[in-house]
């Protein structure tokens, strides 16, 4: 559910008075419990609570039914919400249109044309601000139903009711559906910058409402609305222009939301015909979790004779992702002769050969590094070559290539990794002096893992019996890397008290910021989510010019409203002005959904600090987050993992529910508990498996020295996973320092 849908029901609860309930019954108590759960950020739990109570109670009062429908709506079970309310004899008389509003919202989410008249009926029974908000939602529903005049009247009613803070946005909506173009253009005059960006598209819609389709099409093109151009051109029968706009969009911006929508439009009747079109739709599919379909489209382009290096490289990437390594190797080999992409194709082919264990991998990797020494992938090629030989037990051969990597690219991250691999092997061979020299070289080169090297120099000093030296090294590291993973790790080694920060609330927003946040709230309450997001983007665009207190107030306000990534970006901007201010650290590491996280952690007996550390790292508290691999929601669960976990909990689950915040947290906490149990409580291994899966972690735990958590983490071969484990463990300690009040 969008933020706006959640807020509009909250407003309905606040802005109207429910009828007095009879004596408290079991359903009434369940409704109160459900409302408490909803307010604590657990709408799915609220819906489940009410369902369980309904199963026990054959006769339900109106209050219980409405609260149940609201809970189902919050949990995105729109059909259930509607079925609870349709046909109820008290529907139109309940609480000033509240039940009608809930029904209308459910119908709008289901795409039913009855939503608009139900919003209108709810508005007719409401008053004040609530009536104005319902008028906006009514207008949106009329637009979806294609009833432009009714939509225009609803927006005009909303403006007349006094929603002055969002009036520019309402003017844009009204202009879109106004048939009188002169009146529409007057509405679009003198808009503030954040709103003015939408004026071009609104002008086009007004022309369309007036019946001037040709002028509307040109206006959309001038506004850069390629997707709308394609849709309108198709509706006008101009499939050629629609096709051109659609595939140009997917080729130009395959990762955009419009490109994702363009895929659906294309498949609905404008499917690809030429190789460039097949490739364009493949790139858009790949960017939005459709790798398997993308591979099929690229293969069609190849069959039609597209032998360009760009298409072959894309094919190689998709084939490798599907585990078809030999086919991927052939695609890369065919692209290797291209002057622009040849180096990339040669490198990727070498990586594929290494993955296959092919005898030609060594020559391919070393040849690439020799032929393209300035390529950014050259250090990685040398590292992969050394890593491949190390995995075969040929440490002499591995050391040769690692040494060459270090000599040629001393400050590169891969050189750091090579030093640590060589140092780990030296420690296993009891060559402590060699390990120490490697760690000192890392520090001397100011290389990426110098903090890690300093920590390990302390461990080596301890192995040499130099307790004082180890302590001095770790104390310095704890001071200089005070909030970094290794500084926090060193702090524990010298028994310093846990890091603590005094409570540091964000500054109160100024009148201007409070008004702007209120405007965002009103937009969300009115169902204008995209407008609210545009307002937030405007704030981010002005961040560099903001003072510290303004940045912190904005960050806190946006975090509370569900804009986690934007809030954290503003926190990082504040860090440029005051890096040592605890308020800045809270902005970078917010905890906006604390009650829900703590409740889910308690249910599965996992550390809430560990759970929030994972959520912060996975999604930055964005409930709608989507990873390139297809992981979704706060806890970034793959649909298959979510479904399997839900089955194990005997929880009903549908894919569209995966981003319901507390359901996602519920399944994420359960998955974390399962991983902790599988790895006997080892947090480092469980966190690694959360990122990389259990199979590789089992393999890494079988390596010599893996019983030492420090050595296990350093020896994780996946760079992403190694950094992920460090970040999550650091996050946990920072959340402890920022949010846990010490007890005597």
Average pLDDT, 10 consecutive residues per value, the chain (744 residues): 44 35 58 84 87 78 88 90 94 94 97 97 95 97 95 96 94 95 96 92 91 93 92 93 96 94 94 96 92 95 96 97 96 95 96 94 96 96 93 91 95 92 88 95 93 96 95 96 96 93 91 97 96 96 95 97 96 94 95 95 97 97 88 95 95 90 96 98 98 96 91 88 96 96 67
* Statement to judge: residues 539 and 639 lie in one domain: no
Nearest CA among 216, 212, 261 for reference residue 241: 216
Domain boundary residue, one of 553, 588, 623: 588
Token readout for 741 is 């009040």
Q: From CA 282, how far away is CA 268, in angstroms rounded?
A: 16
Domains of the chain: total:
3
* Statement to judge: residues 109 and 71 lie in one domain: yes
Domain boundary residue, one of 588, 621, 647: 588
CATH of residue 567: 1.25.40
Token readout for 64 is 């219980």
Q: Which of 67, 105, 493, 618 is catalytic?
A: 618
Q: Residue 674 burial by CB count (10 A; 0-12/13-18/19+): exposed, middle or buried?
A: middle
* Statement to judge: residues 21 and 151 lie in one domain: yes
CATH of residue 129: 1.25.40.10
Task: Domain of residue 539: give its range.
Answer: 511-588
* Statement to judge: residues 580 and 623 lie in one domain: no
Q: DSSP character for 509?
A: P
Q: Do residues 549 and 504 touch, judged by C-beta distance below 8 A?
A: no
Active site residue 618: yes
* Statement to judge: residues 584 and 726 lie in one domain: no
Q: From CA 638, how far away is CA 633, in angstroms rounded?
A: 9
Token readout for 213 is 């389709």
Q: From CA 501, how far away is CA 734, in angstroms rounded?
A: 9
Within a domain: 260: no
Within a domain: 546: yes
Tell me the pTM: 0.86
* Statement to judge: residues 7 and 151 lie in one domain: yes
Token readout for 335 is 């692209």
Q: Could you please report the per-residue DSSP string of 637-694?
A: B-HHHHHHHHHHTT----GGGTT-HHHHHHHHHHHHHHHHHHTTT-HHHHHHHHHH-H
* Statement to judge: residues 25 and 157 lie in one domain: yes
Helix (H, G, I), strand (E, B) or coil at 626: strand
* Statement to judge: residues 698 and 573 lie in one domain: no
Terminal CA-CA length for the chain = 43
* Statement to judge: residues 51 and 137 lie in one domain: yes
Within a domain: 280: no
Within a domain: 50: yes
């Amino acid at each position: 559910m969008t933020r706006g849908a959640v807020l509009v029901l909250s407003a309905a609860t606040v802005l109207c008075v429910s009828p007095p309930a009879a004596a408290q019954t079991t359903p009434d108590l369940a409704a109160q419990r459900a409302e408490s759960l909803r307010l604590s950020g657990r709408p799915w739990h609220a819906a489940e609570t009410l369902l369980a109570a309904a199963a026990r109670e054959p006769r339900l009062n109106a209050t219980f039914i409405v609260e149940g429908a609201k809970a189902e709506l919050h949990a995105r079970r729109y059909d259930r919400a509607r079925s609870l309310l349709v046909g109820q004899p008290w529907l139109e008389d309940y609480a000033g249109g509240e039940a009608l509003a809930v029904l209308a919202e459910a119908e709008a989410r289901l795409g039913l044309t009855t939503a608009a008249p139900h919003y209108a009926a709810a508005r007719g029974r409401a008053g004040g601000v609530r009536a104005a908000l319902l008028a906006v939602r009514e207008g949106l529903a009329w637009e979806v139903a294609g009833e432009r005049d009714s939509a225009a009247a609803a927006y005009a009613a909303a403006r007349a009711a006094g929603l002055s803070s969002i009036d520019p946005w309402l003017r844009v909506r009204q202009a879109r559906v106004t048939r009188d173009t002169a009146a529409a253009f007057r509405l679009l005059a003198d808009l503030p910058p954040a709103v003015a960006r939408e004026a071009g598209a609104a002008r086009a819609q007004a022309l369309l409402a007036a019946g001037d389709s040709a002028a509307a099409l040109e206006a959309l093109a001038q506004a850069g609305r390629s997707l709308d151009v394609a849709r309108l051109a198709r509706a006008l029968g101009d499939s050629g222009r629609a096709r051109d706009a659609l595939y140009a969009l997917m080729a130009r911006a395959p990762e955009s939301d419009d490109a994702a929508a363009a895929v659906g439009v294309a498949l609905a009747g404008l499917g690809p015909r030429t190789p460039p079109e097949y490739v364009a739709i493949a790139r858009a599919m790949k960017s939005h979790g459709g790798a398997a379909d993308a591979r099929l489209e690229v293969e069609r382009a190849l069959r039609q004779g597209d032998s360009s290096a760009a298409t072959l490289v894309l094919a190689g990437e998709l084939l490798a992702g599907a585990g078809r390594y030999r086919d991927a190797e052939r695609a890369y080999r065919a692209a290797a002769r291209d002057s622009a992409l040849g180096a990339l194709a040669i490198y990727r082919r070498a990586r594929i050969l290494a993955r296959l264990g092919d005898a030609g991998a060594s020559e391919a990797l070393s040849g690439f590094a020799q032929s393209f020494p300035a390529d950014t992938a050259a250090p990685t090629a040398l590292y992969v070559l050394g890593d491949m030989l190390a995995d075969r037990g040929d440490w002499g051969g591995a050391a040769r290539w690692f040494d060459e990597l270090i000599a040629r690219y001393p400050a590169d991250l891969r050189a750091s990794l090579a030093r640590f691999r060589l140092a780990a092997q030296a420690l296993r061979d009891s060559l402590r002096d060699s390990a120490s020299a490697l760690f000192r070289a890392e520090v001397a080169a100011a290389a990426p893992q110098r903090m890690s090297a300093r920590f390990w120099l302390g461990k080596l000093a301890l192995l040499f019996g130099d307790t004082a030296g180890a302590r001095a090294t770790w104390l310095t590291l704890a001071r200089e890397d005070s909030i970094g993973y290794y500084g926090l790790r060193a702090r524990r080694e010298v028994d310093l008290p846990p890091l603590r920060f005094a409570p540091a609330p964000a500054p109160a927003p100024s009148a201007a910021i409070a008004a702007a946040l209120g405007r965002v709230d009103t937009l969300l309450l009115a169902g204008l989510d995209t407008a609210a997001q545009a307002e937030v983007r405007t704030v981010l665009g002005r961040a560099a010019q903001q003072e510290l207190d303004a940045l912190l107030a904005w960050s806190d306000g946006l975090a509370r409203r569900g804009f986690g990534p934007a809030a954290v970006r503003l926190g990082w901007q504040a860090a440029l002005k005051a890096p040592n201010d605890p308020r800045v650290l809270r902005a970078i590491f917010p905890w906006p959904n604390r009650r829900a996280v703590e409740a889910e952690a308690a249910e599965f007996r996992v550390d809430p600090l560990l759970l929030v550390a994972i959520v912060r790292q996975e999604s930055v508290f964005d409930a709608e987050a989507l990873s390139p691999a297809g992981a979704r929601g706060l806890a970034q669960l793959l649909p298959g993992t979510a479904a399997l976990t839900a089955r194990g909990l005997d929880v009903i689950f549908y894919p569209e529910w995966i981003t319901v915040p507390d359901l996602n947290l519920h399944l994420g906490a359960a998955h974390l508990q399962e991983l902790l149990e599988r790895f006997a409580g080892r947090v480092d291994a469980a966190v690694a498996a959360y990122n990389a899966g259990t199979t590789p972690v089992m393999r890494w735990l079988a390596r010599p020295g893996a019983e030492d958590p420090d050595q296990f983490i350093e020896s994780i071969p996946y760079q992403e996973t190694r950094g992920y484990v460090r970040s999550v463990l650091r996050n946990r300690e920072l959340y402890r320092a920022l949010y846990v009040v010490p007890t005597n």
